[in-house]
């Protein structure tokens, strides 16, 4: 079992989960082409972490890339960055910029 994590990704957890639901439980060899052709920025971030998890499995646990399956994939809320935008009449309006933590766990499944 190999795990890859990244913290404070500048995408909301809701948007990440929309992409994650499409690849949850799939083999890595199926999930990588799906993520590569999605236009969402969330897919690009998840693809980076999935590649890191497969590299961890290949190098640390000596597992075969073709036998790897996504066992667990999660997006958790992180701290929200408080930002300000100018408004009319010299005032300022506050808004929150969400960030997330992503965790991907892959394991070798004998077929």
Q: What is the CATH number of domain 2-108?
A: 3.90.470.10
Q: Which pLDDT band holds residue 53 (cuts at 50, 70, 90)?
A: very high
| pLDDT, tens digit, 9 for 90 and up, residues 60-106 | 989 999 999 999 999 999 999 999 999 999 999 999 999 999 999 99
Dihedral Cα 21, 23, 26, 28, nearest 10 deg: -150
If one compares 48 and 111, the residue with the highest pLDDT of the two is 48
Longest dimension (CA), the chain: 66
| Cα–Cα distance, 2 to 60 (Å, whole number) | 8
Q: Which pLDDT band holds residue 110 (cuts at 50, 70, 90)?
A: confident
Q: Please, what is the average pLDDT of the chain?
A: 95
| Per-residue pLDDT, 20 | 97
Q: Which pLDDT band holds residue 111 (cuts at 50, 70, 90)?
A: low
């Amino acid at each position: 079992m190999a795990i890859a994590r990244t913290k404070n990704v500048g995408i909301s957890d809701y948007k990440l989960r929309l992409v994650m639901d499409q690849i949850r439980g799939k083999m890595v060899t199926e999930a990588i082409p799906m993520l590569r052709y999605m236009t969402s920025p969330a897919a690009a971030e998840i693809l980076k972490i999935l590649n890191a998890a497969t590299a961890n499995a290949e190098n640390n646990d000596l597992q075969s890339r073709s036998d790897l399956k996504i066992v667990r994939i999660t997006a958790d809320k992180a701290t929200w960055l408080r930002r300000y935008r100018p408004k009319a009449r010299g005032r300022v309006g506050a808004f929150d910029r969400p960030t997330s933590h992503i965790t991907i766990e892959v394991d070798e499944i004998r077929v």
